[in-house]
Amino acid sequence: MSAGASGNGDSQNVGQLPLTGQNSPLNQHAFLHRQIQGEQRTHFAAEIVAVHNRNSMTKPCTVDIRPVLSDVDGLGQAQKPDVIYGVPVPRNQSGDSVIINDPNVGDRAHFSVFDRDHSSAQASDWKSGNPGSFRRSTLSDAVFHAVLPREAQEVKQYVRMDENGVDIRQRDGHTIAMTKDGVNINGAVFDKDGNITTPGNMTAGKGTADQVDLQGHAHGTSGPPTPGT
């Protein structure tokens, strides 16, 4: 059976008719099928070259991107892909509740491709309407999906969930760790019964005339209280 009809067509370059069995109708049909499939874009990776309205509370975030894979012709010659502008960035949102962490310039990300031209819907704040054109499954109709982690991109702040609980770290060193023993905020521990322990001092009304320190406060003229009383 011919290579195309046996399902081994993945070994053939898109755009190149196999040298063997060129007159076989099965190979010809398989070649045409690969040509059609090669024009249908579904997912791809790209570098983010610009970010608009990043982390805005009122304006939708969009990104300009350049695919990381070059276009290659049948002779193996590469052409750097063009920039795709105004790609919408979804958020983890439900109603008026949202988690905001839009991508940065330089991020490499995964993008999905809508099967119709969504530009008119995007321009009308995603109201129902007709497609912007007759194009189908093209890179111009991409939508941001997720950032691709890279070893070269150091993580400095994060929210991590594992078998021990939830660990939150801010880039300046502030931490919140939630485990079965309680909630630890920069060393101060709130246990499940509401007890609080801290390695540092606790101050109430700091900066006011009645500021009180838990460690150094006095009861009247009697001095600091006796431990255990």
pLDDT in tens, 28-80: 777 777 777 777 788 999 999 999 999 999 999 999 999 999 988 878 889 99
Q: Which residues does residue 159 pair with via DSSP β-bridges, in sequence order?
A: 168
- What pLDDT does residue 218 have? 65
Lowest mean pLDDT among 14-28, 106-120, 157-171: 14-28
Q: What span, in angstroms and rounded, lies between the C-alpha atoms of 173 and 5?
A: 60
State if pTM tops 0.75.
Answer: no
Structure-block tokens of residue 9: 């067509």
- What pLDDT does residue 30 have? 79
Buried b (16+ CB within 10 A) or exposed e, 127-141: eeeebbeeeeebbbb
* Cα torsion through 170, 172, 173, 177, rounded to 10: -20
- What pLDDT does residue 18 have? 58
CB 165 within 8 A of CB 178: yes
CB 131 within 8 A of CB 140: no
